Amino acid sequence: MTSTRPLIKTMMRKPQLKAPVTSTRVWSGFFTAIVAMLCLLINSQSSLAQVDGKAVYTTHCASCHGEKGLGVEGKTANPLIGTLDVDALAQVIDETMPEDDPDKCNAEESKAVAKYVFEKFYSPQARNIDVTAKRELVHLTNTQYIATLADLLTPWPPSSTDWGTERGLKAHYAAKRKTGKNGEETQIDPNVDFDFKDQSPIKEPETHEEFRIRWDGCVLAEETGDYEFAVESENGFKLFVNNGEEPLIDGWVAEAGKKRELSGVIRLVGGRAYFLKLEMFKFKDPSASIALKWKPPFKAMHVIPNSNLSPKWCPSVFICQTKFPADDSVSGYRRGLTISNAWDSATTSAAIEAANYMWSNANKLADVKKEDDDAKRREKIHKLCRDFAGRCLRMKLEGELQQQYVDQFFENNAPLENAVKRTAILCLKSPRFLYPDITSTDDPGMKMATRLSLAIWDCYPDNRLRDRVGWGGLKTEQQVREVTLEMMKDPRAKTKFREFTHHWLTLDEKPFPSKSETLDKDFDSQAVSDLRTSLDMYVDQIVWGEQSDYRQLMTSAQYPVNARLAKIYGVQKEDIKAFEQLSLDEGARAGLLTHPYVMAAFAYQQESSPIHRGVFVTRRLINRELRSPPEANLFEDAHFDPDMTMREKVSQMTSAANCQTCHRIINPLGFTLENYDALGRFRANYDAKPVDAATTYVDDDGQEVAFKNARDLAQYIAQSPDAHGAFIDHLFHHTAKQPINSYGNDLREKLVLQFENDNFHIRRLWLEMIVRITMDNASQNTQEVAHVQ
């Protein structure tokens, strides 16, 4: 890689504000036309007189950048601020502005306008204005809402996330189909996928005609969403998930030994383990077999792997099944920004659902004992309601609020059912519950606990954290740091980071593009599912490994590969069983970027797509702004000369000047990935021609960077401060659900510096973010005081 710029250039930072972006598609063409006209007028005069920077700015720039460089809604989201000197700024303007045609303004005009901009608002000196972004009032996201409810209505929250180190399920084998008649043989089975044929699995059985097996333990869901469980067997079976009483799947009565696959769908919250029990019996069926499978979100149906099973017992957890409208992601990350009727209705339905669950499980939740009389039961349930309200409102409940939220419903010996349900519904509909920043307590510890718990686990503080606040164990930065480190070990933290990865790489939105069968008939939905697993494992191994090194994430040449993937991607190795860490294409690969899942996700059905890939790299990995295209052009392969390469086709298609504004950035980044086809397989040749992946990319500062291939690009991303900033922005926003600038002008800068000086350690970066978010004092209420003054 050749680059003329210094590797670490902390002085040069992109503008940091990420305001909501509205669609520009309709207007941009119109404005482009106007600017072009004005530009012609100016050009004809510029040589005649001393150029007036302000006039140039007003004519050429202000329509998009605003009178004071603050941006114009719908056109330019970022304010025109930065740290370049006047000459560098002039050069950038001359080469890139106006966006539709940089040639419309000459070097002299560019210099004049740069001087004007620099003095008026661009430079740090000129910028006495506060660029701190506003902290918006947001409600709980859907994930946060559902996860918090799960914690609120579970008798022992810790045990659903503490599922031990042993893997597999506890199996109980009995010789007879009826229980309680004979001794059982117990063992740990790695998973459930057995074909007993016409035999009994019991050692030396009296008969092979009958037997019974029960597997129990728990299952870990890594992501939040709908899980389809399935049992395939010709015998009688029942599957229980997160509910020991009602089976999710009941196939107890078999159908003449005919193999059946029965399934049931249940929503699960990621980062938690769920009670699981599978029972089967055989009686006189000619054969016996059983497989326990699932289809997690975005994946295919497959046997539940050993790594997601534990023989440990887990309590049932309340998982709200109400459907919520999707969270607002207009800011570039999901958060509870929009208040709509649909959302409000969903919170009502969910509150009713939770209230009914709370009432029907009140005895269990309140620990009512058989010997308790009615008065005692009432007392315990009243206390349960007070605790529940206190946890919803994140405070030690007392006085007026306690009266209003709980006690009023218990007055005059009101029926318990009404009291419990009303408490639950009022709490869950309360703005004090729905909006994390609306706090009802003066206790700073509790506020910190809320921010911490949401940042790392996306839920309100659990009993353990609340206890800690109670004894004053969450006050100092050191304490926050220690607690955060502890909480990072929890599967919920891993789930939150997993969700970040998917969102950052935009793998959480649309389904994987379908692929032409002619490419490889083995590339089916199972292969796609395995690829996604491979990507998840790849990220997990690096992020949660000792080095936790971002550069390794971006450049490693090895991926987890199983036998199915090995066949598709041409890995020559015998006897691959589970996923193994293997090198693809003799080290030609480079980290996340060239992981086959990513390459195939940003490609067409039959062909690579340099444009999709280029946009992905630009927007997600190096954080450059791209406007929506002035006109939508569909790529149609048939329009091109069949002898052309994909690179040639795309170059031709985007050659117009108004396309080049953006495509001069997009195309080189996409072309350098041309060694990977629509399935993400490596190719040295495109049809008969060798692939040309060498490109030159011009960065934000106008510096040219040459890439020979994908590895060069990956190296660039690993070392580019722009990319580091992008990574930090995405991770911070996913964690905090608020703009990074709202935590102070210099936080981003500091985090980038720390990251670069700390071996790009991802977990320590995240720790630092969470600590900063937790320790932040700029709550809604203090801001309000400032406003009033």
Partner 1 sequence: MSSDHEHSHDHERDSHRSFRDVTSPSGLTTEKQGLLHRSRREFLRDLGISAFAFPLIAGLPSLGYCATPVAPRKRMIILFSPNGIVPKAYWPDQAGRDFTLKEIMKPLEPFKDKTLIVKGVCDKVQGDGDNHMRGMSCLLTGIELLPGNIQGGSHTPAGWASGLSIDQEIKGYLQSNDQTRTRFGSLEFGVNVPDKADPWTRMVYAGRNKPIAPIDDPYAMFEKLYGQVKDQAAVISILDSLQSDLKKVRSTLSTEDRVKLDEHEAFVRHMEHEFKAAKDQKLREPPLELEAGIREDNENMPKLSKMQIDLMVNSFVNDMARVATLQYTCSVGQARMSWLGVKESHHTLSHEPGTNDEAQNDLIKINTWYAEQMAYLAKKLADTPEPDGSGSMLDHTTIIWTNELGEGASHTLNDIPLTIVGGGLGWEMGRSLQLKSVTHNRLHMSIAHAFGHHVDHFGNPNFCGEGVLPELTTA
Strand order, beta sheet including 2-3 = 2-3, 704-707, 695-698
Residues 2, 207, 345, 516: which binds partner 1 (CB under 8 A)?
Answer: 345
88 in contact with partner 1 (CB under 8 A): no
Residue nearer to partner 1 on the CB measure, 463 or 783: 783
Please, what is the minimum distance in Å from the beta carbon of residue 162 to partner 1?
Answer: 31
Which residue's structure tokens are 């117990």? 186
Residue nearer to partner 1 on the CB measure, 510 or 787: 787
Please, what is the minimum distance in Å from the beta carbon of residue 175 to partner 1?
Answer: 16
Written in H, E and C, the secondary structure of 757-784 is HCCCEHHHHHHHHHHHHHHCCCCHHHHH
Q: How far apart are CA 533 and CA 510, in angstroms?
A: 17
Residues 7, 26, 37, 253: which binds partner 1 (CB under 8 A)?
Answer: 253
Torsion angle, CA of 265/270/272/275, rounded to 10 degrees?
Answer: 10
Q: Report whether the peptide linkage leading into residue 79 is cis, meaning its omega lies within 30 degrees of zero.
A: no
703 in contact with partner 1 (CB under 8 A): no
In degrees rounded to 5, what are phi and psi of residue 637?
A: -55, -35
Helix (H, G, I), strand (E, B) or coil at 298: coil
Please, what is the minimum distance in Å from the beta carbon of residue 323 to partner 1?
Answer: 15
Residue nearer to partner 1 on the CB measure, 340 or 696: 340
* Binding track, positions 256-275, relative to partner 1; x by CB under 8 A: xx------------------
Pick out residues in 370-409 that bind partner 1 (CB under 8 A): 404-405, 408
Report how far apart, in Å, the C-alpha atoms of 451 and of each of 146, 434, 446, 750 are.
17, 14, 9, 20
Q: What residues contact residue 203 under an 8 Å CB cut-off, 6+ apart?
A: 185
283 in contact with partner 1 (CB under 8 A): yes
Write down the number of H helices and E strands in the chain. Answer: 29, 19
739 in contact with partner 1 (CB under 8 A): no
Q: How far apart are CA 430 and CA 423, in angstroms?
A: 11
Q: How far apart are CA 261 and CA 254, in angstroms?
A: 11
* Angle, alpha carbons 343-344-345 (nearest 5°): 90
Residue nearer to partner 1 on the CB measure, 363 or 506: 363
Q: Which stretch binds partner 1 (CB under 8 A): 1-9, 346-354, 447-455, 625-633?
A: 346-354
The bridge status of strand 288-295 relative to strand 184-189 is unpaired
210's enclosing H/E stretch is strand 210-221
Please, what is the minimum distance in Å from the beta carbon of residue 617 to partner 1?
Answer: 36
Q: Which stretch binds partner 1 (CB under 8 A): 66-74, 101-109, 278-286, 451-459?
A: 278-286
Please, what is the minimum distance in Å from the beta carbon of residue 194 to partner 1?
Answer: 17
* Cα end-to-end distance, the chain, whole Å: 55
321 in contact with partner 1 (CB under 8 A): no
Please, what is the minimum distance in Å from the beta carbon of residue 95 to partner 1?
Answer: 39
Residue nearer to partner 1 on the CB measure, 134 or 689: 134
User: DSSP letter at 58?
Assistant: I
Please, what is the minimum distance in Å from the beta carbon of residue 233 to partner 1?
Answer: 11
Token pair for residue 434? 């729905």
Q: How far apart are CA 676 and CA 670, in angstroms?
A: 10
Residues 132, 307, 356, 463: which binds partner 1 (CB under 8 A)?
Answer: 356
124 in contact with partner 1 (CB under 8 A): no
Residue nearer to partner 1 on the CB measure, 135 or 649: 135
Q: Which stretch binds partner 1 (CB under 8 A): 75-83, 186-194, 246-254, 701-709?
A: 246-254
Please, what is the minimum distance in Å from the beta carbon of residue 434 to partner 1?
Answer: 8
183 in contact with partner 1 (CB under 8 A): no
Please, what is the minimum distance in Å from the beta carbon of residue 787 to partner 1?
Answer: 5
- Asked if residues 349 and 320 have their Cβ atoms less than 8 Å apart, the reply is no
Residues 289, 348, 479, 547: which binds partner 1 (CB under 8 A)?
Answer: 348
| Long-range contacts of residues 606-609, Cβ cutoff 8 Å, at least 24 apart | 606/515, 606/516, 606/518, 606/519, 606/637, 606/678, 607/637, 607/646, 607/677, 607/678, 608/646, 608/673, 608/674, 608/676, 608/677, 608/678, 609/635, 609/670
Torsion angle, CA of 157/158/159/161, rounded to 10 degrees?
Answer: 100
The bridge status of strand 225-233 relative to strand 309-310 is unpaired
* Binding track, positions 36-75, relative to partner 1; x by CB under 8 A: ----------------------------------------
Q: Which of 95, 58, 17, 57 is nearest to 625 (CA)?
A: 17
Pick out residues in 767-786 that bind partner 1 (CB under 8 A): 780-781, 783-784
Size of the site for partner 1 (CB under 8 A): 50
339 in contact with partner 1 (CB under 8 A): yes
344 in contact with partner 1 (CB under 8 A): yes
User: DSSP letter at 442?
Assistant: -
Q: Which stretch binds partner 1 (CB under 8 A): 34-42, 249-257, 441-449, 536-544?
A: 249-257
Residue nearer to partner 1 on the CB measure, 343 or 579: 343
Helix (H, G, I), strand (E, B) or coil at 262: strand
787 in contact with partner 1 (CB under 8 A): yes
Residue nearer to partner 1 on the CB measure, 405 or 538: 405
382 Cα distance to chain centroid? 39
Q: How far apart are CA 465 and CA 446, in angstroms?
A: 9
Which residue's structure tokens are 């003799």? 586
Residue nearer to partner 1 on the CB measure, 104 or 429: 429
Helix axis angle for 107-117 and 86-96, nearest 10°, is 130
341 in contact with partner 1 (CB under 8 A): yes
Q: Which stretch binds partner 1 (CB under 8 A): 120-128, 297-305, 417-425, 493-501?
A: 417-425
134 in contact with partner 1 (CB under 8 A): yes
Pick out residues in 137-176 that bind partner 1 (CB under 8 A): 137
Residue nearer to partner 1 on the CB measure, 340 or 745: 340
Pick out residues in 418-477 that bind partner 1 (CB under 8 A): 418, 421-422, 425-426, 429-432, 434, 438
Q: Which of 41, 74, 144 is nearest to 456 (CA)?
A: 144
Please, what is the minimum distance in Å from the beta carbon of residue 133 to partner 1?
Answer: 13
Please, what is the minimum distance in Å from the beta carbon of residue 404 to partner 1?
Answer: 6
Please, what is the minimum distance in Å from the beta carbon of residue 65 to partner 1?
Answer: 25
Residue nearer to partner 1 on the CB measure, 404 or 558: 404
* Total length of the chain: 789
182 in contact with partner 1 (CB under 8 A): no
- Asked if residues 213 and 233 have their Cβ atoms less than 8 Å apart, the reply is no
Please, what is the minimum distance in Å from the beta carbon of residue 250 to partner 1?
Answer: 6
What does the binding site for partner 1 look like in residue numbers (CB under 8 A)? 134, 137, 235-236, 250, 252-257, 281-285, 339-341, 343-345, 348, 351-352, 355-356, 404-405, 408, 412, 414-415, 417-418, 421-422, 425-426, 429-432, 434, 438, 780-781, 783-784, 787
